[in-house]
C-alpha cells in the first residue's frame, strides 16, 4: 500500500514497491564531465600531439610547455545582455629552441578566447544560450560481416576503421581467396600486403596461418615473388600514373598505417582491437608513462586475417554494427578537441612556413604563432556546427532533455537520407543506455535519442548502465553496483528490477525472468549474475515523468514524452497530484530553480534576491531572474519559496523557476475532466473547456517578444533615433520619451511606433531656390524618411524593458551600427479556442469551444466539470494510463494528498480501488453527471477525475494570420507566403481542380489573375472598387510572361495567338499602371508602405532561415521595394518549432 515520502519540500504518498539502491546521478553530468575532461586533459593531449614543431632543417624547435585559462571578461548575465560570448582567455607557454646557438626563448602566447561552459551545461555564444549535443558514431576497431554474393555463395568481409586515416578492408570471393582494399582502392590478394610488410616468402606466409588452404588459394592468384615487387604493386594501385620506386612505396605504406600523424586508432580503437583479438597489444611505455599504441601494428593485420578465417569456419559470429558496444558517444569535450585539433594543424603549417621565411635572430614564439586558424575553427564549431544547437528553453524539462540528447547526425555521422531502418530501430543493447521511447516523430525518428536516467559515459565514450551484483555463493543480491558496457552485459544473466526479494536479498522465486545476450529467458535464480538497479533504468527523464507508462502504447508514450517538452510555463504553477517521484530531480538538475549552497538561516527575502547567513557567519546573496525572455519567447521568472528566519540546508530549493512548484517540476495543471461526448464539440480529439479556465487564469501564460532597431551609417549620412519624425501626429508619439524610444509600461498595438528613427533620403539635383534655403537654414532642410520600428501585425502587449546600446557609451556594436535599441513586449495569453492542449499520455487535442461554467456538466454535489474529453480517444489509441491517472487523481484529491506512481512500479488496479474505498467513492470511478443546461442527469455513469493537462507551445495567437495588401515576389509578382512575410493564402493546383470541377469559371479567373499576379489588373480592380465602378476584364498574369521568357531563353520562338489566330502582343510593364497606382497611393511592385519590418532579434528565425547573411536592415529601403522576393525563400513554416527536432 502507499506510504508517505519526503520529496523536496513536499510529502508524496508513493506506490513504489521496489527499494532503489542507487541515487540518480546528476542529470547533466554528461555535459559537465566531458567539458571538464577537455579543460584538464583534452587540451594537454592536443599540445602534446603537435609539440614539438620543427622547421625543415631541424634547427628551430617550438615546444608547447603549458597552458592556462584566465578569468572571463564579462559575467554570464552581461554576455546575454551585450550579445557577447561567455569566454575566458587561453594562454599557452611556448618555448623556442635554436639548435645552432643553443638559445632558448620562452613566451606566454594568447591563443584566443575560449568559450566556457556555464554551471547549467550550456554555452553563451553571441548572447544566445546554446547546447552541444552528444554524437553517436561508429567506434573505431575491426568489424566482421557476412553476406551472399550474386551467385549465392557466402562471402565474408573485415574492415579496420581508424579514428582518422585510411581504411583497411578484407574480403573473400567465391574461390575462398582473400583480398584486401587499401583506402577504398581496387582489391589485391592479401598475400601481396603480407609480402610488403616483410613476410617475403610463400613459406613464411603459409607458416603464419598454419598452412590454411584459403591462404594457398590466395597465393595462386598472387603474381609477386618478393617484398620489393609487392611494395611496387601496392604503390601502383594507390598512386596510379606515378613512377614507382621501392623506397617511395615503402614510405607510402609506412605513412598510411604506421605513422601516428597520418593514422590514429585512438585509445578506443586500440582497446576494441585488444578486446576482439585478445592479443595483448595495448600499451607501450613513453617517457616513463604507459601510453596506448595508437597506430596499427603488423600483428594487428595478421590477427585481423586470422579472425576472418575463424569467421569463415563458423567459430565466431559476425558483428552487429547497430549494437551499442560498436557505437560510441562523442560528447562536448571530444567534439571540441577535434575542432581544436583542426585549428592547431592549420596553425602548425603556418608556423613551419614562418620558420623558414623569418630571420632566425629576431624570431620569437609570438611572431611564429598565428592564432587565427584556431580561433576560426572554434568559432565555426560553436556558431554553425550541426551539433551546436540553439537551446530549447520552452520549459525546464525541454532544457534538461536537450542537454541529454544523443544524435547520430552531424559531421562524421549519418545523414537522414542514407539512414536505413536498422540504424533507427530499437536495439536490445539500448536497455538502460538509450531510451526506447523518446525520439522525434518525422524524418529524424530513431536517429535522435535520449540518454536513459541512470546511464553514464565511460572513458572510451561507450554508454554504461549500472547493475546490482549477485553474490552467487550466498545467493544474495548485494548493494554493490557495477557499471557495464553493452558488450560486457551480453555475457551475463541479468534479472529484472521487479524480481521479488526477501529481507536479506534472496530471490523469492525459484525461477526468475532474466536477460541474456539480447534474449529474455526464465532461468533458475542460482544462475543470475546481476540485477537491474531500478525499474526506470531503461527510460529517459521525460519518459520517467509519465505516470502509468506501463499501461500506454509505445507510440502514444513517445508523443507524451515529446509533448511535455512543449508545455508552456503557466502564470500559476501547480505540481501534479499524480506524479512519478521524478519531478523533483528533473527540476533541480535542469538549473531553473535556485539551490542553497550552504546551511544557514534566511536573513532577507525580496522578489529580486534572497540573502542567507551561513553557519560560518558570512552572507550569501542569491539573485533571482525576473521576467526574462527565454530562447523560445516564454517567460523565465523566479520567486522565493523560503521565509525570513527559516533554516535552510545545503542543496535545498529556495526559489522556484518557471514551471516549478515548491521545487517540483510543474508543467501543467490538475483539471477535473469527464470522458463523455458533448454535442459533437469533442469530435476528432477536440477539447471542450469551461470558461472558468479562462476567468481564473488557470492556463494563462506570459510571452515576451524582443524587437530591435539599429541606427546605422548609410551612404547618405547616419540614421538618427529621434522623436522628430516627418508626417506623424503628436498622438502617435504620446508614449515616446524625448529620445524617441517607447516608455516602459506603455500598452502597444500593431503599427504603433516603438523606436522613432529617420534615414536620410537620396539627394536630388537642387534648384537655385532650394540651394538658397539650404544656405540660409543649414542642414535642417535635408530630406529624411521615416524608418521607425513599429509593432508588427498581430502583435501587442505591454513594454516591459528597453535596452539602449550606443558607441558613445563604449558598447561593442557591429560595424556600421551607431546605436542599438531593444524593446521587450510581454503579453498575457489566456487559453483560447484553437490552442493545443495535451495530457502526459500522448492524448492531444485542440480547443473547440469554451462553454460558460453554468452550462458544463456537473457532479451531484454541484461541482462543474472543467474539461470534457472524448471517450473515443482512448480505446484505439491504447493509452489507458490516462484513465488510471484520472481515477487515482480523483481519489488523491478526495483524500487531500499528492501521490507518486513510478514507471513500471506504480499503483495497481487493486490499490486504486482501495484508494477509492478510503475516499468513500464508487470503486469503478464513475459518477452520474447532470447536464448544466437542463439539470437533467445523463443516462449513464461517467468517468470523472483529475488529469494533469498541459498547454503546448503551439498557440493560436502565433499562427493566426490575415493579409490585406502586402509584399509581392519580384519575379512572379505573386504574393509571398507565410506569416513572417505577411504573405497570402496559397491557392494551389488542387484547389484549382476543385473550382474547375464546379465549373466556377469567373471565380477561378479572378483568383488566377487580379487576386494574384496580374499587375495591371490588380491596380485597375482596386481603382474600380474605390470609385464604385464595375471591375474590368483581367489581363495577362505575370507568371505567364515569365513562362514565355523562359521558353524564349531556350531559343524557342514563342507567339501568343488569339482565337482568331491573330498574334497578341504582350506588353511589358505598363506605364499607366504606375501612374494610376500613384494616384491611389499604392505601391505596385514589392512591398506596400506598411510592409512589416522583419522581426529583430528572433533567434529561432535566424537559426531556421537559410539565408543567414541577408539582413533586411542592410538594404536601402528604396531597394527593398524591388527585393521583396529576397524574403521568398525565407518562409519558415509555422510548425517549424513544433514537433520536429
What is the total count of domains within the chain? Answer: 6
DSSP three-state, residue 898 = coil
Q: How many residues does the chain have?
A: 1141
Query: CA 667, 670, 673 angle in degrees (round to 5)?
Result: 130
Q: Is residue 846 part of a domain?
A: no
Q: Is residue 897 part of a domain?
A: no
**Does residue 128 sit in the same domain as residue 160?**
no
Query: CA 121, 124, 125 angle in degrees (round to 5)?
Result: 135
**Does residue 104 sit in the same domain as residue 33?**
yes
Q: Based on C-alpha coordinates, what's the Rg of the chain?
A: 36
Q: In this predicted model, what pLDDT tens digit does every residue of 973-1022 receive, in sequence order?
A: 889 988 888 899 999 999 999 999 999 999 999 999 998 889 999 999 99
Q: Is residue 899 part of a domain?
A: no
**Does residue 706 sit in the same domain as residue 629?**
no
Q: In this predicted model, what pLDDT tens digit does every residue of 774-810 receive, in sequence order?
A: 777 765 556 788 999 999 988 999 999 999 999 988 8
Q: Is residue 18 part of a domain?
A: no
Is the pLDDT at 1093 greater than 50, yes or no? no
What CATH number corresponds to the domain at position 494? 2.30.150.10
Burial-class residue 817 by CB neighbours within 10 Å (0-12, 13-18, 19+).
middle
What CATH number corresponds to the domain at position 166? 3.90.1110.10
Query: What pLDDT does residue 1124 have?
Result: 37
Q: What is the C-alpha to C-alpha distance for residues 132 and 337, in angstroms, rounded to an integer?
A: 13
Q: Is residue 432 part of a domain?
A: yes
DSSP string, 380-408: HHHHH-TTEEE---SSHHHHHHHHTEEES
**pLDDT-derived band of residue 1095, with 50, 70 and 90 as boundaries?**
very low
Q: What is the C-alpha to C-alpha distance for residues 376 and 314, in angstroms, rounded to an integer?
A: 51
Q: What is the C-alpha to C-alpha distance for residues 661 and 665, in angstroms, rounded to an integer?
A: 6
* Residue for grid cell 617484398: 227
Q: In this predicted model, what pLDDT tens digit does every residue of 185-231 receive, in sequence order?
A: 888 999 999 999 888 888 888 888 888 888 988 888 888 888 898 99
Q: Which of these, 784, 361, 826, lies nearest to 636 by C-alpha position?
A: 826
What CATH number corresponds to the domain at position 131? 3.90.1100.10
**pLDDT-derived band of residue 1085, with 50, 70 and 90 as boundaries?**
low
Q: What is the C-alpha to C-alpha distance for residues 949 and 574, in angstroms, rounded to an integer?
A: 11
Query: What pLDDT does residue 379 have?
Result: 95
Q: What is the C-alpha to C-alpha distance for residues 979 and 967, in angstroms, rounded to an integer?
A: 12
Query: CA 1086, 1088, 1093 angle in degrees (round to 5)?
Result: 95
Between these two residues, 1067 and 913, which has the higher pLDDT value?
913
The domain boundary, picked from 602, 627, 656, lies at 656
Query: What pLDDT does residue 1089 have?
Result: 42
Q: Is residue 565 part of a domain?
A: no
Q: Which of these, 858, 861, 868, 928, lies nearest to 894 by C-alpha position?
A: 861
Q: 967 vs 133, 209, 1020, 1035, 1082, CA distance in Å?
A: 39, 76, 18, 20, 12
Q: In this predicted model, what pLDDT tens digit does every residue of 295-333 receive, in sequence order?
A: 898 889 999 999 999 999 999 999 999 999 999 999 999
Q: In this predicted model, what pLDDT tens digit does every residue of 342-372 receive, in sequence order?
A: 999 999 999 988 888 888 888 888 888 999 9
The domain boundary, picked from 477, 511, 544, lies at 544
Is the pLDDT at 616 greater than 80, yes or no? yes
**pLDDT-derived band of residue 1078, with 50, 70 and 90 as boundaries?**
low
Query: What pLDDT does residue 1107 have?
Result: 39
Q: In this predicted model, what pLDDT tens digit does every residue of 262-300 receive, in sequence order?
A: 898 988 999 999 999 888 777 777 777 778 888 898 889
DSSP three-state, residue 920 = coil
**Does residue 227 sit in the same domain as residue 97?**
no
Q: What is the C-alpha to C-alpha distance for residues 370 and 263, in angstroms, rounded to an integer?
A: 26
Q: What is the C-alpha to C-alpha distance for residues 184 and 585, in angstroms, rounded to an integer?
A: 50
User: What does the pLDDT average to over 866-875?
Assistant: 96
**Does residue 708 sit in the same domain as residue 808?**
yes
At 964, list the grid cell. Answer: 490585406
425-446 exposure pattern, b = at least 16 Cβ within 10 A, e = fewer: ebbbbbbbbbbbbbbbeeebbb
Task: Give the HSE-up count for residue 1027: Cα atoms under 13 Å, Cβ half-sphere.
Answer: 13
Query: What pLDDT does residue 1118 have?
Result: 37
**Does residue 405 sit in the same domain as residue 354?**
no
**Does residue 1017 sit in the same domain as residue 1004?**
yes
Query: What pLDDT does residue 562 have?
Result: 96
Task: Give the HSE-up count for residue 1099: Cα atoms under 13 Å, Cβ half-sphere.
Answer: 20
**Does residue 416 sit in the same domain as residue 346?**
no
**Does residue 305 sit in the same domain as residue 160?**
yes
At 429, list the grid cell. Answer: 543493447
Is the pLDDT at 887 greater than 80, yes or no? yes
Query: What pLDDT does residue 941 have?
Result: 97
Q: Average pLDDT, whole number, for the chain? A: 89
Query: What pLDDT does residue 764 have?
Result: 64
Q: 228 vs 53, 103, 237, CA distance in Å?
A: 33, 45, 15
Q: In this predicted model, what pLDDT tens digit does every residue of 633-677 receive, in sequence order?
A: 999 999 999 999 999 999 999 999 999 999 999 999 999 999 999
**Does residue 315 sit in the same domain as residue 348?**
no
What CATH number corresponds to the domain at position 745? 2.40.50.150
Q: In this predicted model, what pLDDT tens digit does every residue of 124-170 receive, in sequence order?
A: 999 999 999 999 999 999 999 999 988 888 999 999 999 989 999 99
**What whole-number percentage of the chain has pLDDT above 70?**
93
Is the pLDDT at 415 greater than 70, yes or no? yes
Query: What pLDDT does residue 150 have?
Result: 87
CB 604 within 8 A of CB 610: yes
- Which of 95-104, 171-180, 537-546 has the highest mean predicted lDDT (pLDDT)? 537-546
DSSP 634: B
Bridge partners for 88 per DSSP: 114
Bridge partners for 864 per DSSP: 858
Q: Is residue 210 part of a domain?
A: yes
**Does residue 282 sit in the same domain as residue 154?**
yes
User: What does the pLDDT average to over 813-820?
Assistant: 92
Between these two residues, 778 and 238, which has the higher pLDDT value?
238
Bridge partners for 647 per DSSP: 601
Strands 628-629 and 753-755: unpaired
What CATH number corresponds to the domain at position 613? 2.40.50.100
Neighbours of 341 (CB within 10 A): 18
Query: What pLDDT does residue 183 have?
Result: 87
Bridge partners for 609 per DSSP: 623
Is the pLDDT at 1072 greater than 70, yes or no? no
In degrees and rounded to multiples of 5, residue 904 shows phi and psi of 60, 10
- Which of 95-99, 210-214, 821-825 has the highest mean predicted lDDT (pLDDT)? 821-825
Strands 609-614 and 1063-1064: unpaired
DSSP string, 597-630: SS-EEEEEE-SSEEEEEETTS-EEEEE---SEEP
Query: CA 257, 261, 266 angle in degrees (round to 5)?
Result: 75
Task: Give the HSE-up count for residue 381: Cα atoms under 13 Å, Cβ half-sphere.
Answer: 25
Query: What pLDDT does residue 1071 have?
Result: 57
Q: What is the C-alpha to C-alpha distance for residues 781 and 774, in angstroms, rounded to an integer?
A: 6
CB 636 within 8 A of CB 396: no
Q: In this predicted model, what pLDDT tens digit does every residue of 1028-1039 receive, in sequence order?
A: 999 999 989 999
Strands 594-595 and 578-579: unpaired
* Residue for grid cell 509519465: 546
The domain boundary, picked from 390, 407, 440, lies at 390
Q: 1129 vs 793, 1089, 1108, 1118, CA distance in Å?
A: 20, 21, 12, 21
Q: What is the C-alpha to C-alpha distance for residues 294 and 268, in angstroms, rounded to an integer?
A: 9
Is the pLDDT at 1109 greater than 70, yes or no? no
DSSP 227: H
**pLDDT-derived band of residue 1115, with 50, 70 and 90 as boundaries?**
very low
* Residue for grid cell 577537455: 38
Q: What angle do the packed helices 989-998 and 1001-1008 form, to 10 degrees?
A: 150
Q: Which of these, 751, 722, 746, lies nearest to 802 by C-alpha position?
A: 746
**Does residue 168 sit in the same domain as residue 243?**
yes
Q: Which of these, 891, 879, 876, 817, lies nearest to 843 by C-alpha position?
A: 879
DSSP 663: T
In degrees and rounded to multiples of 5, residue 122 shows phi and psi of -120, 170
Is the pLDDT at 598 greater than 90, yes or no? yes
Is the pLDDT at 1121 greater than 80, yes or no? no
Q: State which residues form the domain around 232.
A: 140-324
Is the pLDDT at 920 greater than 50, yes or no? yes
Query: What pLDDT does residue 927 have?
Result: 96
Peptide bond into 1015 cis (omega under 30): no
Q: What is the C-alpha to C-alpha distance for residues 822 and 811, in angstroms, rounded to an integer?
A: 14
Q: Is residue 203 part of a domain?
A: yes
DSSP string, 450-475: EB-TT-EE-TTS-EEEEEEEEETTTT
Amino acid at each position: 500500500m502507499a506510504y508517505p515520502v519526503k520529496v523536496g519540500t513536499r510529502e508524496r504518498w508513493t506506490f513504489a514497491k521496489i527499494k532503489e539502491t542507487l541515487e540518480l546521478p546528476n542529470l547533466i553530468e554528461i555535459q559537465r564531465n566531458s567539458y571538464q575532461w577537455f579543460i584538464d586533459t583534452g587540451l594537454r593531449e592536443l599540445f602534446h600531439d603537435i609539440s614539438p614543431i620543427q622547421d625543415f632543417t631541424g634547427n628551430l624547435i617550438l615546444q608547447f610547455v603549458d597552458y592556462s585559462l584566465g578569468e572571463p571578461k564579462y559575467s554570464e548575465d552581461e554576455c546575454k545582455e551585450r550579445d557577447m560570448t561567455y569566454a575566458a582567455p587561453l594562454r599557452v607557454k611556448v618555448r623556442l629552441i635554436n639548435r645552432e646557438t643553443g638559445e632558448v626563448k620562452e613566451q606566454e602566447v594568447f591563443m584566443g578566447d575560449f568559450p566556457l561552459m556555464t554551471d547549467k551545461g550550456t554555452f553563451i555564444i553571441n548572447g544566445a544560450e546554446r547546447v552541444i549535443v552528444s554524437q553517436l558514431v561508429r567506434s573505431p576497431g575491426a568489424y566482421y560481416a557476412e553476406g551472399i554474393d550474386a551467385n549465392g555463395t557466402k562471402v565474408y568481409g573485415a574492415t579496420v576503421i581508424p579514428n582518422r586515416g585510411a581504411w583497411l578492408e578484407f574480403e573473400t570471393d567465391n574461390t575462398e581467396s582473400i583480398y584486401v582494399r587499401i583506402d577504398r582502392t581496387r582489391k589485391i590478394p592479401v598475400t601481396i600486403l603480407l609480402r610488403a610488410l616483410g613476410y617475403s616468402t610463400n613459406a613464411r606466409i603459409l607458416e603464419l596461418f598454419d598452412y590454411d588452404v584459403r591462404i594457398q588459394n590466395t597465393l595462386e592468384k598472387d603474381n609477386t615473388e618478393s617484398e620489393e615487387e609487392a611494395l611496387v604493386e601496392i604503390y601502383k594501385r594507390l598512386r596510379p600514373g606515378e613512377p614507382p620506386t621501392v623506397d617511395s612505396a615503402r614510405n607510402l605504406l609506412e605513412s598510411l598505417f604506421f605513422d601516428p600523424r597520418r593514422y590514429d586508432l585512438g585509445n578506443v580503437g586500440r582497446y576494441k582491437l585488444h578486446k576482439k583479438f585478445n592479443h595483448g597489444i595495448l600499451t607501450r611505455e613513453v617517457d616513463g608513462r604507459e601510453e596506448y599504441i595508437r597506430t596499427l601494428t603488423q600483428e594487428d593485420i595478421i590477427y585481423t586475417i586470422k579472425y576472418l578465417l575463424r569467421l569463415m569456419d563458423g567459430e565466431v559470429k559476425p558483428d552487429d554494427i547497430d549494437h551499442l558496444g560498436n557505437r560510441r558517444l562523442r560528447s562536448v569535450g571530444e567534439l571540441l578537441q577535434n575542432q581544436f585539433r583542426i585549428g592547431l594543424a592549420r596553425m602548425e603549417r603556418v608556423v613551419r612556413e614562418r620558420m623558414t621565411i623569418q630571420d632566425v635572430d629576431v624570431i620569437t614564439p609570438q611572431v611564429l604563432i598565428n592564432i587565427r586558424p584556431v580561433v576560426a575553427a572554434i568559432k565555426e564549431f560553436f556558431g554553425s556546427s550541426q551539433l551546436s544547437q540553439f537551446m530549447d528553453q520552452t520549459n525546464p524539462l525541454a532544457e534538461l532533455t536537450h542537454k541529454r540528447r544523443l544524435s547520430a547526425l552531424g559531421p562524421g555521422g549519418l545523414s537522414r537520407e542514407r539512414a536505413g531502418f536498422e540504424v533507427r530501430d530499437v536495439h536490445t543493447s539500448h536497455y538502460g543506455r538509450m531510451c526506447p521511447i523518446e525520439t522525434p516523430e518525422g524524418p529524424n525518428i530513431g536517429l535522435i535519442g535520449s540518454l536513459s536516467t541512470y546511464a553514464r559515459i565511460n572513458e572510451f565514450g561507450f554508454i554504461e548502465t549500472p547493475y546490482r551484483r549477485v553474490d552467487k555463493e550466498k545467493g544474495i543480491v548485494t548493494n554493490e553496483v557495477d557499471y557495464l558496457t553493452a558488450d560486457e552485459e551480453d555475457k551475463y544473466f541479468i534479472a529484472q528490477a521487479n524480481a521479488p526479494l526477501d529481507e536479506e536479498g534472496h530471490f523469492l522465486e525459484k525461477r526468475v525472468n532474466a536477460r541474456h545476450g539480447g534474449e529474455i529467458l526464465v532461468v533458475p535464480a542460482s544462475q543470475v549474475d546481476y540485477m537491474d538497479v531500478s525499474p526506470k533504468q531503461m527510460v529517459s527523464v521525460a519518459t520517467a515523468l509519465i505516470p502509468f507508462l506501463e499501461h500506454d502504447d509505445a507510440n502514444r508514450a513517445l508523443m507524451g514524452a515529446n509533448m511535455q517538452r512543449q508545455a508552456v510555463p503557466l502564470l500559476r504553477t501547480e505540481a501534479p497530484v499524480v506524479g512519478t517521484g521524478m519531478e523533483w530531480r528533473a527540476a533541480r538538475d535542469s538549473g531553473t530553480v535556485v539551490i542553497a549552497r550552504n546551511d544557514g538561516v534566511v536573513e532577507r527575502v525580496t522578489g529580486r534576491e534572497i540573502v542567507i547567513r551561513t553557519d560560518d557567519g558570512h552572507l550569501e546573496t542569491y539573485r533571482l531572474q525576473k521576467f526574462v525572455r527565454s530562447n523560445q519567447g516564454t517567460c523565465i521568472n523566479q520567486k522565493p519559496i523560503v521565509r525570513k528566519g527559516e533554516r535552510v540546508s545545503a542543496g535545498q530549493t529556495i526559489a522556484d523557476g518557471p514551471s516549478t512548484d515548491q521545487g517540483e517540476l510543474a508543467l501543467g495543471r490538475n483539471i477535473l475532466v469527464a470522458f463523455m461526448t458533448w454535442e459533437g464539440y469533442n469530435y476528432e480529439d477536440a477539447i471542450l473547456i469551461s470558461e472558468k479556465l479562462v476567468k481564473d487564469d488557470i492556463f494563462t501564460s506570459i510571452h515576451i517578444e524582443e524587437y530591435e532597431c539599429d541606427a546605422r551609417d548609410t551612404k547618405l549620412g547616419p540614421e538618427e533615433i529621434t522623436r522628430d519624425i516627418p508626417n506623424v501626429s503628436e498622438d502617435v508619439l504620446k508614449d515616446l520619451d524625448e529620445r524617441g524610444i517607447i516608455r516602459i509600461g506603455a500598452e502597444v498595438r500593431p503599427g504603433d511606433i516603438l523606436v522613432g528613427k529617420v534615414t536620410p533620403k537620396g539627394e536630388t539635383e537642387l534648384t537655385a531656390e532650394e540651394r538658397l534655403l539650404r544656405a540660409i537654414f543649414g542642414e535642417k532642410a535635408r530630406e529624411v524618411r521615416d524608418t521607425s520600428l513599429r509593432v508588427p501585425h498581430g502583435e501587442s502587449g505591454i513594454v516591459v524593458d528597453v535596452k539602449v546600446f550606443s558607441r558613445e557609451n563604449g558598447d561593442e556594436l557591429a560595424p556600421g551600427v551607431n546605436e542599438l535599441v531593444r524593446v521587450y513586449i510581454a503579453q498575457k495569453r489566456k487559453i483560447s479556442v484553437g490552442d493545443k492542449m495535451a495530457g502526459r499520455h500522448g492524448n492531444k487535442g485542440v480547443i473547440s469551444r469554451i462553454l460558460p461554467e453554468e452550462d458544463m456538466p456537473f457532479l451531484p454535489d454541484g461541482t462543474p466539470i472543467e474539461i470534457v474529453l472524448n471517450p473515443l480517444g482512448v480505446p484505439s489509441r491504447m493509452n489507458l494510463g490516462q484513465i488510471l491517472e484520472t481515477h487515482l487523481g480523483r481519489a488523491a484529491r478526495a483524500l487531500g494528498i499528492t501521490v507518486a506512481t513510478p514507471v513500471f512500479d506504480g499503483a495497481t488496479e487493486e490499490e486504486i480501488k482501495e484508494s477509492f474505498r478510503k475516499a468513500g467513492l464508487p470503486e469503478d470511478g464513475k459518477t452520474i453527471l447532470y447536464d448544466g443546461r437542463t439539470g437533467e442527469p445523463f443516462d449513464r455513469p461517467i468517468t470523472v477525475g483529475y488529469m494533469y493537462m498541459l498547454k503546448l507551445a503551439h498557440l493560436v495567437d502565433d499562427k493566426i494570420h490575415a493579409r490585406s495588401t502586402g509584399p509581392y515576389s519580384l519575379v512572379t509578382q505573386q504574393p509571398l507566403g507565410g506569416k513572417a512575410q505577411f504573405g497570402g493564402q496559397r491557392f494551389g493546383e488542387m484547389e484549382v481542380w476543385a473550382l474547375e470541377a464546379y465549373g466556377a469559371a469567373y471565380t477561378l479567373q479572378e483568383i488566377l489573375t487580379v487576386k494574384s499576379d496580374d499587375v495591371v489588373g490588380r491596380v485597375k480592380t482596386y481603382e474600380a472598387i474605390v470609385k464604385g465602378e464595375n471591375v474590368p476584364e483581367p489581363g495577362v498574369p505575370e507568371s505567364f510572361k515569365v513562362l514565355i521568357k523562359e521558353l524564349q531563353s531556350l531559343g524557342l520562338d514563342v507567339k501568343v495567338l488569339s482565337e482568331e489566330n491573330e498574334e497578341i502582343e504582350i506588353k511589358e510593364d505598363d506605364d499607366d499602371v504606375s501612374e494610376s497606382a500613384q494616384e491611389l497611393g499604392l505601391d505596385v511592385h514589392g512591398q506596400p508602405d506598411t510592409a512589416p519590418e522583419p522581426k529583430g532579434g528572433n533567434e529561432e528565425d535566424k537559426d531556421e532561415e537559410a539565408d543567414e547573411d541577408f539582413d533586411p536592415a542592410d538594404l536601402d529601403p528604396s531597394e527593398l521595394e524591388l527585393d521583396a522576393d529576397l524574403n521568398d525563400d525565407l518562409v519558415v513554416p509555422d510548425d517549424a518549432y513544433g514537433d520536429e527536432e
